[in-house]
Structure 1
């Protein structure tokens, strides 16, 4: 089902837009517990932090889903997906417990003249703060009838017919987010830098 353009919308906090998607995960949890859904994506037991100066994406879709940790625990997430995205000033960090104490693994990219480029990008988010501008956004569409960006794949843990939203374009700035997983068809990282730090002081935020 094709959606008609309705102009642009701006929110100071992207979290306000995410509320219906995250709330819908309660229904997802019930369906999962009853065996109605199958998990297709297993994640580690740790979340990671990401900051970005600018994420400019086309073909945006967002919906509620469940990830499953390696120990079988089910995690509600809001999945944000893009057909294509460019990312300026990317920082990603995760704190890993080791016998030597906590070690922060930190990755940065896209800080020069060339931004990070991603295609068919999926981000499984538990928390996000940003400024956002959407072009031709549709809020409250059925997840099964999204047409502007990548939707759930076969086997993904989501409730058929549940809440979703989509837009022709989404521009997010000053992003701080916590996520369980990121996947992409292609992910180009110019100026990639990977470093290890003792403790937690080197986290992205």
Structure 2
């Protein structure tokens, strides 16, 4: 798999970012983020720095998907790039297994990468939610699929979307050779076997 090339808007001094940003990224790597009562990534203020996810396979039960808006702080230096809002589709999964996970965020001229689930034991997550503007895969298999349902009435996942908006859901999904361009991720709990956090010039393309 190869990471899609994304244009980099602005540059950040690596040392300054490492001092200020790495503790937050390490917390994200743990991904023990509260999602009680269906509170999703869209409910917190995003950094405005997107990140990518690559995986050989994602298989999950209890999937729901609907549209939303993510917001960043009005004083953020990246606010002007997007107008402070990003249109996303929120994908939620009750229980997910992720094989050969790689997450990368572009920082200046390098990437901070998080890898896990790549030695025979997949990463596992409960109540996982991703806020994305792109998702691709070589194949996608959906069991018990419902498309066009009012997002406020979704009942197969752990969350619901805004009333009167388009929603879809499925009992079970399997996605292969997955790429996501994300703005936020939350999980009730996540287990990351063989976790590695490192800087890489190639990101998830290596």
Q: What is aligned with 2:54?
A: 51
Which residue of structure 2 aligns with residue 28 of structure 1?
none
Structure 1: how far apart are the matches of 2:96 and 2:158? 12
Match of 2:187 in 1: 184
Query: Do structure 1's residue 204 and structure 2's residue 204 form an aligned pair?
Result: yes
Mind listing any 5+ residue stretches in structure 2 that lack a counterpart? 1-41
Match of 2:8 in 1: none
Q: TM-score, normalised by structure 2?
A: 0.72
Higher helix share: 2
Distance in 2 (alpha carbons) for counterparts of 1:41 and 1:138: 28
Q: In structure 2, what is the equivalent of residue 76 of structure 1?
A: 87
For structure 1, list consecutive stretches of 5 or more residues without a partner in the other structure.
1-38, 153-157
Number of aligned positions between the proteins: 155
SS of match in other structure, 1:204:
helix
Select the structure that is richer in strand: 1
Which of 96, 103, 106 aligns to 2:107? It is 96
TM-score w.r.t. structure 1 length? Answer: 0.72
Q: Which residue of 2 aligns with 1:119?
A: 126
Q: Is the 8 A contact 1:143 1:151 kept in 2?
A: no
**1:65 aligned to 68, 73, 93, which one?**
68
Deviation string, structure 1 residues 41-98 (Cα, Å, up to 9, x no partner): 211121001100010000000000010023361111000000000000000000113x
Q: How many angstroms does 1:103 deviate by?
A: 2.8
Runs of 4 or more off by more than 3 Å in structure 1? none
RMSD: 1.4
